Amino acid sequence: MKKICSILVIAIGITLFVIGYTTKIPSKNLTTFSILEGDKYSAIDEYVGGDAYNYIIGASLVSGKIAAAKIERVIFISTGSLIFSIGIIGFAFSFKTKEKKPKEKKDVGEQGDLSQTNE
């Protein structure tokens, strides 16, 4: 049972690590065309009356998205690594068995024989 639980914990750790590694981080390049949004560009949705203002607002929004994605990536990778390590440690300890100590035979002579009485 301990081995199965350890393997399950290891699988969860690997899954979290892979999710963190594959988390998509938005691009740093800004564009006003929403068609181009994807791997290379991040689109700016707001228009406030001037291109410079749009890029300032867009840059702050995109930087927030980038920071959130990087933090999410770090959390998933570190948590996955920690859980994976705990699973490996649990799996290693599941192979250890308790050593049974041999039962000691009580020597009747040491404790005194009930048939002999002190007179």
Residue 7, judged by CB atoms within 10 A of its CB (0-12, 13-18, 19+), counts as middle
| Domain boundary assignment for the chain | 2-94
Q: Tell whether pTM > 0.85.
A: no
Digits of tens for pLDDT over the chain (119 positions)? Answer: 778 888 999 999 999 999 999 988 877 776 666 666 666 677 666 666 777 777 787 778 888 888 999 999 999 999 999 999 999 998 888 877 666 666 666 655 555 555 555 55
Burial code (b: 16+ CB inside 10 Å, e: under 16) for 58-96 equals beebbeeeeeeeeeebeebbebbeebbeebeebbeeeee
